Amino acid sequence: MADYKVQINYTNKKARKLSLILGLIAFVGFYLWYLIDIPVRNAPGEISIMYYMEFLPRWVLHFFGLTTIIGVIAYLLFDIRMNLRGLLKLDLNSIVIESKREVRIIDFNELKRITVIALPFSLSRYRIEFIYHDLSFVRLKLRNKKDFDCILDNLYDIAPEEFEIHGSAFESIHK
């Protein structure tokens, strides 16, 4: 039927690994802070302030601040994704997604549903997710509303009648 230029949204595995390592470091730092905090956990505020300001060395407080920053960075890195240019080909029998990395042929029998997404506040607002039965998915970012509408019309034409095409203003967050 037609070919469309898209951005294929992949998990950035290097950023995910770095995020897990930083998250582990932050976890160890928070656990050490938990152990340091035991002596004054149930003490009155005046004693707690004296413990933190006078008794503990400054490097311990700086370590806790660094641990907090590392934890925030790990959280932000965890969901960084990578976009590759690709081509979406819609045919009467199949959906083909081509990129430098792979050629993926999608059959409607393999899919649980297709979710079309129009995000209200995003630079690339229009997306399509092909969600499999095991809840893994392929996410495509589209260039403009015209391509989005054309692809949606073509999907409705080629999809079986009982197949679910779901509209949403939110992306799937798993994977």
Using one digit for the tens of pLDDT, what is the confidence trace for 109-132? 888 888 888 887 777 788 888 888
Collapsed DSSP state (helix, strand, coil) of residue 166: strand
**φ, ψ for residue 127, nearest 5 deg:** -140, 155
Q: How far apart are CA 29 and CA 126, in angstroms?
A: 40
Per-position pLDDT tens, the chain of length 175: 678 888 888 777 888 899 999 999 999 999 998 998 888 888 888 888 888 888 888 888 889 999 999 999 999 988 787 888 888 888 877 788 888 888 888 888 888 888 888 887 777 788 888 888 888 888 888 888 888 888 888 888 887 777 777 777 676 665 4
Pair 6, 86: CB distance under 8 Å: yes
Paired sense of beta strands 2-11 and 103-106, if any: unpaired
* Global confidence as pTM: 0.63
